[in-house]
């Protein structure tokens, strides 16, 4: 099942399920006001997200036996620049917590060590314990077609395209989405202790365009990931990798994350990047970052440079 959040003028945030024909079925009720609330209900009732969403979809179909009566809006119609006057996609979940993982791919470790003239990243890659760090809260995240940001004090910020998964309060994986872990590499490379400042700031994380439940992705460790940087309508960088090249398994990452660390329902975990943009192509204001992951879709975001406060 594929679940989205979207905005309708005059109605606000809605929760939708994507039908096979691309139509969006609105399953919003007074109780199901968000994807996060949908997850919480599924967990409290001890059923899967698929079951709750399917029940809501069926209930709507019974109320409208003639499907032509239902509002007809399609996913492509929602995948547009967000404006209050038009229907558009929202971030697929408002995550209470987002966690990141570093150096899960060897290329990421190798390139970072070259830049820092050390071997701390390769050591983390080889170590038993994975690198896991706190990334964001909902207020620092954006959805499809919203701007991801470059810190006002950074001159070398890069996108980090990643497969992400969503957890319930018991640490069970309930779905997958695409993440862009924006990172101020110049700040991190100046001193690894500056990692939080490199990673955590307004507009530092993009998620979307949807949540795909685990039943739709039987093997998350075999998904193709592509990242494109577009500048003035031209692709200036394109990289590709497969999640099969990750050293760390999702189960391993999850086991370390959950050690002595209670998490709230709706926590998002990013699994690390293996696509590293060239040193001479830092992001600029006005660029567009597109991340495509097999079975999930495309997450596109314009880039904006923040102004000093």
Q: 27-41 burial, b if ≥16 CB within 10 A, otherwise e? A: bbeeebebbbbbbbb
Give me the mean pLDDT over the 56-72 stretch.
Answer: 64
Q: Could you read off the pLDDT of 184-202 as tens digits, one per residue?
A: 999 998 998 999 999 999 9
Residue whose structure tokens are 């077609």: 145
Q: What is the model's pLDDT at position 113? A: 47
pLDDT surpassing 60 at residue 110: no
Q: If you average pLDDT over residues 163-179, what whole number do you get?
A: 97
**Rg from Cα positions in the chain:** 19
Topology of domain 98-305 in CATH is Fumarylacetoacetate hydrolase; domain 2 (3.90.850)
Q: What is the pLDDT of residues 129-154, one digit of tens each?
A: 999 999 999 999 999 999 999 999 99
Instruction: Quote the mean pLDDT of the chain.
Output: 91
Give the global pTM.
0.93
Q: What is the pLDDT, as a whole number, of residue 109?
A: 44
pLDDT for the residue numbered 126: 86
3-state secondary structure of 232: coil
* pLDDT, tens only, 24-50: 999 999 999 999 999 999 999 888 887
Q: Which of 180-184, 269-273, 305-309 has the lowest mean pLDDT?
A: 305-309
Average pLDDT over residues 275-302: 96
Inter-helix orientation angle 49-63/35-45, to 10°: 110
Give mean pLDDT, residues 223-247.
97
- pLDDT-derived band at 111 (thresholds 50, 70, 90) equals low
| 118: confidence class by pLDDT, cuts 50, 70, 90 | low
Q: Is the pLDDT of residue 102 over 50?
A: yes
Res. 234 pLDDT band, cuts 50 70 90: very high
- Check: CB of residue 16 under 8 Å from CB of residue 27: yes
Distances 191 to 109, 116, 167, 280, 305 between C-alpha atoms, Å: 16, 8, 32, 20, 22
**Mean pLDDT computed over 224-248:** 96
Alpha carbon distance 169, 206 (integer Å): 22
Q: What percent of the chain has pLDDT above 70?
A: 92
What is the reported pLDDT for 153? Answer: 97
pLDDT band at 63 (very low <50, low <70, confident <90, very high): low
Inter-residue contact 161 to 225 (CB < 8 Å)? yes
pLDDT at 172: 95
| Mean per-residue pLDDT, 72-100 | 96
pLDDT at 309: 80
Which residues 6+ apart lie within 8 Å of 290 measured at CB?
Answer: 226, 227, 228, 230, 298, 299, 300
Give the HSE-up count for residue 5: Cα atoms under 13 Å, Cβ half-sphere: 23
Q: Where are the beta strands (DSSP E) in the chain?
A: 2-8, 12-18, 24-26, 88-90, 98-102, 131-136, 141-142, 148-150, 157-158, 161-167, 173-181, 183-184, 205-213, 224-231, 234-242, 267-270, 288-293, 297-305
Q: What is the pLDDT of residue 91?
A: 98
């Amino acid at each position: 099942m594929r679940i989205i959040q979207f905005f309708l003028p005059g109605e606000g945030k809605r929760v939708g399920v994507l039908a096979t024909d691309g139509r969006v079925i609105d399953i919003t009720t007074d109780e199901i006001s968000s994807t996060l609330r949908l997850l919480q209900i599924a967990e409290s009732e001890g059923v899967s997200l698929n079951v709750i969403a399917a029940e809501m979809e069926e209930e709507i179909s019974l109320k409208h036996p003639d499907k032509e009566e239902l509002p007809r809006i399609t996913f492509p119609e929602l995948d547009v620049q967000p404006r209050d006057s038009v229907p558009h996609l929202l971030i697929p979940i408002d995550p209470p917590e987002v966690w990141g993982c570093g150096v899960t791919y060897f290329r990421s470790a190798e390139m970072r060590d070259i830049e820092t003239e050390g071997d701390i990243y390769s050591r983390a890659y080889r170590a038993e314990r994975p690198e896991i760090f706190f990334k964001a809260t909902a207020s620092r995240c954006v959805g499809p077609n919203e701007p991801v940001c470059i810190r006002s004090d950074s001159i070398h910020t890069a996108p980090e395209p990643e497969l992400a998964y969503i957890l319930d309060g018991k640490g069970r994986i309930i779905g997958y989405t695409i993440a862009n872990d924006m990172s101020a590499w110049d700040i991190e490379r100046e001193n690894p202790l500056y990692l939080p400042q490199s990673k955590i700031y307004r507009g530092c994380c993009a998620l979307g365009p949807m949540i795909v439940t685990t039943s739709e992705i039987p093997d998350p460790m075999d998904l193709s990931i592509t990242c494109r940087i577009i500048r003035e309508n031209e692709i200036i960088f394109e990289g590709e990798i497969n999640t099969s090249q990750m050293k760390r398994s999702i189960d391993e990452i999850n086991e370390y994350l959950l050690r002595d660390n209670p998490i709230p329902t709706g926590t998002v975990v990013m699994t690390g990047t293996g696509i590293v943009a060239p040193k001479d192509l830092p992001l600029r204001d006005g660029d567009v970052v597109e991340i495509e992951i097999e079975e999930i879709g495309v997450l596109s975001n314009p880039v904006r440079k923040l102004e000093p406060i």
